[in-house]
């Protein structure tokens, strides 16, 4: 599980900082999460292949989270993309995109599917054989969802010495990796535990931006390997956080502690502060394992 931060600052794009967008690579899938203005250039700078993105998740319809979407979709057209593309986001996103394509008399050569979200309860919005994605309803000024990315259980690891010892044919390996026992020709049953090792543990990534402090998300993100939680302000600006329905670093850390996540990743910083290290320092007073998102940062969580 690898996360690349394309942008992690609040509000407006600036010369050296970018608003929110990140790429999660998990089990060979590449998910784009939010897509602020400039995201396509950030993808290029970080040498991420546009063509590997098939699913884009938009948390909410504030510009610093989606103004780059129309440009990215247009670039896919120019690149003559053929593969299906899925966009998950609040109701209204389809109208915004299609209006602009219609007025520019453009047609996508690829199928563009919109999955418009309206539910205020968590729901599964993507699932294949390896990964499942659920919404995390958040509390912000407009309808907003976070996203929970969960690996499905991996196949068990073959104990090569054991299978060779029992002279098991390779055609049975797949069955064994999926937990099956093995019956030998003489009728002896070899239990799976003797033929395999436990698989690598599955990973979970919870993305929560933008939101006010909200303990109701804790059950959804319980024990996540990584929680990205917005921290737009420090406690010294707690009044501004409350007014704008954002969180402070301390509040983000409190959620991390309550949810017993392994690591907290902070982002969506207001640019008013002299150093993002201030966010880490404040969060660490509550929760020990704090990482800082920064534009271009790559986190390998394997």
Q: Which residues are annotated as a binding site for Zn(2+)?
A: 60, 62, 64-65, 140, 210, 268
Task: Please work out, in degrees rounded to the nearest 5, the angle formed at the alpha carbon of residue 279 by the alpha carbons of 59 and 274.
Answer: 105
Closer by beta carbon to its own copies, 102 or else 152: 102
**Could you give the CA distance from residue 140 to residue 137 in angstroms, rounded to a whole number?**
10
Task: Please work out, in degrees rounded to the nearest 5, the angle formed at the alpha carbon of residue 258 by the alpha carbons of 254 and 260.
Answer: 115
**Could you give the CA distance from residue 82 to residue 40 in angstroms, rounded to a whole number?**
18
In angstroms, what is the minimal distance from the CB of 37 to its own copies? 4
Q: Which residues, 6+ apart, have CB-to-CB distance to 236 below 8 Å?
A: none
**Interaction residues for its own copies, span 28-87 (CB under 8 A):** 37-38, 40-41, 44-45, 61-63, 67-68, 70-71, 74-75, 78
Cα-based distances in Å from 63 to 11, 53, 103: 8, 21, 20
Closer by beta carbon to its own copies, 19 or else 267: 19
Q: Which two tokens stand for residue 158?
A: 């073959």
**Tokens 């109208």 — which residue?**
95
**Could you give the CA distance from residue 66 to residue 33 in angstroms, rounded to a whole number?**
10
Work out which of 82, 99, 201, 288 binds its own copies, going by CB under 8 A. Answer: 99
Work out which of 2, 51, 82, 92 binds its own copies, going by CB under 8 A. Answer: 92
In angstroms, what is the minimal distance from the CB of 63 to its own copies? 4
In angstroms, what is the minimal distance from the CB of 93 to its own copies? 8
Check if 300 is active-site: no
In angstroms, what is the minimal distance from the CB of 272 to its own copies? 12
The single residue of 64, 181, 186, 302 carrying the catalytic annotation is: 64
* Binding site residue list: 60, 62, 64-65, 140, 210, 268
> Phi, psi (5° rounding) for residue 32?
-95, 125
> Phi, psi (5° rounding) for residue 103?
-70, -25
Closer by beta carbon to its own copies, 69 or else 227: 69
Q: Is 103 in the site for its own copies (CB under 8 A)?
A: yes
Work out which of 27, 29, 54, 96 binds its own copies, going by CB under 8 A. Answer: 96
Stretch that binds its own copies, among 13-21, 161-169, 223-231, 278-286 (CB under 8 A): 13-21
Contact pattern for its own copies over residues 116 through 155, marking x by CB under 8 A? -------------------------xx-------------
Closer by beta carbon to its own copies, 103 or else 189: 103
Q: Computed over its alpha carbons, how large is the radius of gyration of the chain? A: 22
Partner residues linked to 298 by β-bridges: 4
Using CB under 8 A as the binding criterion, the count of chain residues that bind its own copies stands at 32
Closer by beta carbon to its own copies, 44 or else 165: 44
**Could you give the CA distance from residue 297 to residue 302 in angstroms, rounded to a whole number?**
16
Half-sphere exposure of 281 (CA within 13 A, CB side): 7
Residue 210 preceded by cis peptide, ω within 30: yes
In angstroms, what is the minimal distance from the CB of 71 to its own copies? 4
**Could you give the CA distance from residue 162 to residue 183 in angstroms, rounded to a whole number?**
14
User: Is residue 151 a contact partner of residue 203, using CB atoms and an 8 Å limit?
Assistant: yes
Residues annotated as part of the active site: 64
- Which residues are near its own copies by CB under 8 A? 11-15, 37-38, 40-41, 44-45, 61-63, 67-68, 70-71, 74-75, 78, 90, 92, 95-96, 99-100, 103-105, 141-142
């Amino acid at each position: 599980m690898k996360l690349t931060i394309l942008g992690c600052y609040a509000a407006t794009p600036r010369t050296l900082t970018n608003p929110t967008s990140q790429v999660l690579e998990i089990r060979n899938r590449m998910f784009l999460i939010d897509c602020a203005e400039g995201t396509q250039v950030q993808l290029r700078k970080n040498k991420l292949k546009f063509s590997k993105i098939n699913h884009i998740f938009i948390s909410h319809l504030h510009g610093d989270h989606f103004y780059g979407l129309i440009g990215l979709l247009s670039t896919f057209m120019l690149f003559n993309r053929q593969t299906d593309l899925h966009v998950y986001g609040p109701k209204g996103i389809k109208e915004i995109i299609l209006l602009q394509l219609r007025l520019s008399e453009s047609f996508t050569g690829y199928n563009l599917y919109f999955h418009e979200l309206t539910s205020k309860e968590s729901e599964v919005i993507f699932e294949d054989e390896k990964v499942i994605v659920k919404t995390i309803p958040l509390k912000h000024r407009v309808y907003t969802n976070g996203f929970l990315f969960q690996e499905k259980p991996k196949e068990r690891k073959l104990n090569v010495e054991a299978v060779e010892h029992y002279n098991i044919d390779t055609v049975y390996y797949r069955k064994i990796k999926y937990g099956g026992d093995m019956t030998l020709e003489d009728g002896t049953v070899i239990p799976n535990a003797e033929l395999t090792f436990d698989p690598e543990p599955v990973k979970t990534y919870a993305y929560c931006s933008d939101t006010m402090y909200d303990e109701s998300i804790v059950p959804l993100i319980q024990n996540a390997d990584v929680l990205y939680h917005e921290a737009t302000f420090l406690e010294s600006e707690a009044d501004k956080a409350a007014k704008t329905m954002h969180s402070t670093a301390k509040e983000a850390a409190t959620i991390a502690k309550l949810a017993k996540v392994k690591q907290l990743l902070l982002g969506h910083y207001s640019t008013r502060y002299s150093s993002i290290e201030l966010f880490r320092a404040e969060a660490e007073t509550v929760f020990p394992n704090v990482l800082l998102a920064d534009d271009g940062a790559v986190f390998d969580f394997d």
